[in-house]
Amino acid sequence: MSRLIALVDSNNFYVSCERVFNPKLEGRPVIVLSSNDGCAVARSNEAKALGIKMGTPAFQMRDLIEKHQIQIFSSNYALYGDLSNRVMQTLQNFTPEVEVYSIDEAFVGLTGEVSDHALSIMRTTVKRWTGIPVSIGLAPTKTLAKIANRIAKRGEGTYILRDPDQVLENLPVGEVWGIGRQSTKKLTAYGITTALKLKQADLAWIKRQMGIVGVRIVKELRGTSCLPLELIPQPRKSCCVSRSFGHPVTDLEDLREAIATHTARAAHKLRRDNLSASLLAVFIATNRFNADLPYYRNSGTVGLSAPTNHTITLTKAALKALGPLYRVGDHYQKAGVWLTELTPAHEIQQDLFINHKSCEKGRKLMEVMDALNSQFGAGTVRCAAQGFEQSWRTKAEMRSPRYTTRWDELLIVP
DNA sequence: TCTGGGGTCCTAGGACCC
DNA sequence: TCTGGGGTCCTAGGACCC
């Protein structure tokens, strides 16, 4: 029995999430902005038709927005994350072979004869149960499923790739999954301009030019699966929290608040995933687009004496790392914290020099803090180092309500 | 005025060891 | 003048993804 892979991909996912709770947005141009209301990260088909490209900065779209009455939203990750879970759970209803690949995509393993009708049922069920429209492409490998999905998206919403070569011949090589800008440039220089030419390329030559990654892509195009479904999510290896500031920051005190806040978020993520970190890095940067001011970025690393996910321990380390990075007079635009060398929290090597009693106390404190913050909202209990005014905070001026995760933001039907 | 955030994997080259 | 060979580990940086 043949094993096939379906790629289920939400259409314009963030925009679709906004539409679920705001049906007036249907049929109108809608854009969702990146964090800090910086640039377009999701566009409705109507917005795409107006020529708005992925990643266009908000200030460059001002006239178009005004002229066409485009609806603009800040990113609302609480909402998108929750709706994503609902979509994934719906897919799990059909088969346990679901690999959650990103917030809006899943690879689904299917066996035997799969009809267009079956895919269509999957699609309409997701729409009916979650309100999110998806497209489904089916093929023998992940790379081909990605291509099938593109066709599904432009057509009926589902597509089974039965005659790959005909499709590959009309697909620019840069559209193949895993072929980025650099590889496109290199391949094009050698006359490999379409996916079909890539599929027919000499494997030894590909190995020399693109390494093992390139070989895998070519084999996948030929129908040999090299990228298996990963049904059990691998534990993450690092955890990074960084944000742009709502406006340029010059004070060390503001930087300290931001770093403490990002550290608290990162530590919380670790506790949620039951991980501890051994290494912490802090980085700060000025605006690289501003030609009038010097561009400065720097980072500093601190090793922890024992792996930890304790907010206060990590915050102390982070603030220590920040100190030497700061320069008076620079206009900072961004700061972040990066935790690495992650290990499962329960497998930690006992440290001879650690006071176990205070360690246990610290763990309980975090437990209570997480419980309070979960019940009453993030930031209810926090370190004083995180500040109160937080004037540096990231912009999110057009965020919709967190309809599904906050009681006080429920949709009210008059 | 205004340009996102969070990841992974691979490779080359250096340090080091026997 | 001659100056091994093979292996591992680590790190930085590149490339790519959504």
Render A158-226 in DSSP notation, one character per residue: EEE-S-HHHHHHTSBGGGSTT--HHHHHHHHHTT--BHHHHHTS-HHHHHHHHHHHHHHHHHHHTT---
pLDDT, position A176: 97
Residues A215/A220/A223/A229 CA torsion (nearest 10 deg): 130
Encode chain A (414 residues) as per-residue pLDDT tens digits. 678 999 999 999 999 999 999 999 999 999 999 999 999 999 999 999 999 999 999 999 999 999 999 999 999 999 999 999 999 999 999 999 999 999 999 999 999 899 999 999 999 999 999 999 999 999 999 999 999 999 999 999 999 999 999 999 999 999 999 999 999 999 999 999 999 999 999 999 999 999 999 999 999 999 999 999 999 988 899 999 999 999 999 999 999 999 999 999 999 999 999 999 999 999 999 998 888 888 898 888 888 888 999 999 999 999 999 999 999 999 999 999 999 999 888 765 555 566 677 788 888 999 999 999 988 888 889 999 999 989 999 999 999 999 998 888 999 888
pLDDT, position A350: 57
A214 touches strand B (CB under 7 A): no
In the complex, which nucleotide's C1' lies nearest to the CA atom of residue A59?
B2
Q: Enter the DSSP assignment of A157.
A: S
- In DSSP terms, which residues pair with A108 in a beta bridge? A6, A98
Distance, CA of A211 to C1' of B10, in Å: 8
A 10 A CB-CB count for A150 gives: 18
Topology annotation, domain A239-386: Dna Ligase; domain 1 (3.30.1490)
**Cα–Cα distance, A18 to A23 (Å, whole number):** 8
Helices A116-130 and A77-92 pack at an angle, to 10 degrees, of 140
A103 touches strand C (CB under 7 A): yes
Q: Closest CA to B9 C1' — which residue? A: A213
Chain C footprint positions (protein CB, under 7 Å): 14-18
Q: Enter the DSSP assignment of A140.
A: S
Q: Residue A4: is it exposed, middle or buried by C-beta count within 10 angstroms (0-12/13-18/19+)?
A: buried
* Token couple for A247: 């406006």
**Cα–Cα distance, A402 to A48 (Å, whole number):** 26
Token pair 């940067």: residue: A285
In CATH, what is the architecture of A163-222? Orthogonal Bundle (1.10)
pLDDT, position A291: 87
pLDDT, position A170: 97
A211 touches strand C (CB under 7 A): no
In the complex, which nucleotide's C1' lies nearest to the CA atom of residue A214?
B10
Instruction: Kindly list the distances between the CA atom of residue A238 and the CA atoms of A232, A301, A313, A335, A384, in Å, as whole numbers in the listed order.
Output: 18, 14, 18, 17, 26
pLDDT, position A377: 83
* Token couple for A265: 């978020």
Per domain, the residue ranges of chain A are: 3-159, 163-222, 239-386
In the complex, which nucleotide's C1' lies nearest to the CA atom of residue A289?
B3
From A246, A230, A237, select the one nearest A334 (Cα to Cα).
A246
From A311, A332, A314, select the one nearest A255 (Cα to Cα).
A332
Alpha carbon A142 to its chain's center? 19
Q: Which CATH number fits domain A3-159: 3.30.70.270, 3.40.50.300, 3.40.50.170, 3.40.640.10?
A: 3.30.70.270
Handedness of CA A98, A99, A100, A106 (dihedral sign): negative
**Cα–Cα distance, A152 to A29 (Å, whole number):** 22
Is residue A137 a contact partner of residue A149, using CB atoms and an 8 Å limit? yes
**Cα–Cα distance, A385 to A317 (Å, whole number):** 13
How does strand A158-160 pair with strand A134-139?
A: parallel
pLDDT, position A2: 79
pLDDT, position A360: 84
Catalytic sites of A, residue numbers: 105
A177 touches strand C (CB under 7 A): yes
Which residues make Cβ contacts (< 8 Å) with residue A379, sequence separation at least 6? A373, A386
pLDDT, position A414: 80
A183 touches strand B (CB under 7 A): no
A237 touches strand B (CB under 7 A): yes
